[in-house]
Amino acid sequence: MGWSSLPIEVREAAERELTRKQLDVLKLWTSGYSTRRIGLMLGVSEATARAHRDRALQKLKPYMEAA
């Protein structure tokens, strides 16, 4: 599943609702990168990358359920 395969409603909500880091992490994660690799790419720890991903998914949950 890539970023572009997500429903447009979810992608638009992500642009509105997420912080820049959360959005960056989510885009990389949906492109297949591990949280470890994302952390290395963005210069943050794996735990921080995982926290950004988890928070982004939590914020987008209502939009994903509706899509």
- DSSP characters for 45-67? -HHHHHHHHHHHHHHHHHHHHH-
Distance (Å, whole) CA 43 – CA 49: 9
Q: Note the pLDDT of residue 14.
A: 96
Domains of the chain: 3-66 (1.10.10.10)
pTM listed for this prediction: 0.91
pLDDT at 42 over 90: yes
3 or 24: whose pLDDT is higher? 24
Q: How confident is the model at residue 56 (pLDDT cuts 50, 70, 90)?
A: very high
- Tens digits of per-residue pLDDT, 10-41? 999 999 999 999 999 999 999 999 999 999 99
Look at residues 15, 24, 14, 16 and name the one whose alpha carbon lies nearest to residue 57.
14
